[in-house]
Amino acid sequence: MTYRVCFVCTGNICRSPMAEHVFRARVEEAGLGGAVEVDSAGTGGWHEGDGADPRTVAVLEEHGYTSAHTARQFRASWFPALDLVIALDEGHARELRRLARTPEEAARIRLFRSYDPGAGNSLDVPDPYYGGYEGFEECLEMTEAASEGLLSAVLSGLREGRPE
């Protein structure tokens, strides 16, 4: 059984590719590369075919992560193949719930920071696009913190054969 996770932000050039690469590294470190597929997409198609934002690439590479990426838009038809659809903020979660065609598909949607016990009530990962480099660094910190909890949930899901 392959467990499939897709991260979703607005244009798939900042937050979701960062989350994809960080979480994929955690999956590989845990020895689960063959059991877990990690991907990302955007709620909109403005950047389809583009690479990640250069600031995303710089932050990822500076911290030892891979960065190869091609942006794409999330499609409702992907839900059946995914175990978890991870929204980077509440706006993305609302859009994804709108796209979900069944209650079962909607139940696969989670906010990324809900996996970070230190996040408190602040579950959105702020969009760094219109700010400076420090916003991308902050995004990386939030992504690394949430990835640990998400990995635990995925491990539980793999053991139980269902999403967590």
DSSP string of 9-62, one letter each residue:
ESSSSSHHHHHHHHHHHHHHHTT-TTTEEEEEEESS-TTTT----HHHHHHHHH
Which amino acids are annotated catalytic? 9, 15, 127
Contact yes or no for 26/148 (Cβ under 8 A): yes
**pLDDT tens digits, residue range 117-160?**
999 999 999 999 999 999 999 999 999 999 999 999 999 989 88
pLDDT at 63: 98
Share of the chain above pLDDT 90, in %: 95
Report whether pLDDT(46) > 80. yes
Q: What is the pTM of this model?
A: 0.97
Q: Which CATH superfamily is domain 3-160 in?
A: Response regulator (3.40.50.2300)
Residue 105 has pLDDT above 80, yes or no: yes
Query: What 3-state class would DSSP assign to 144?
Result: helix
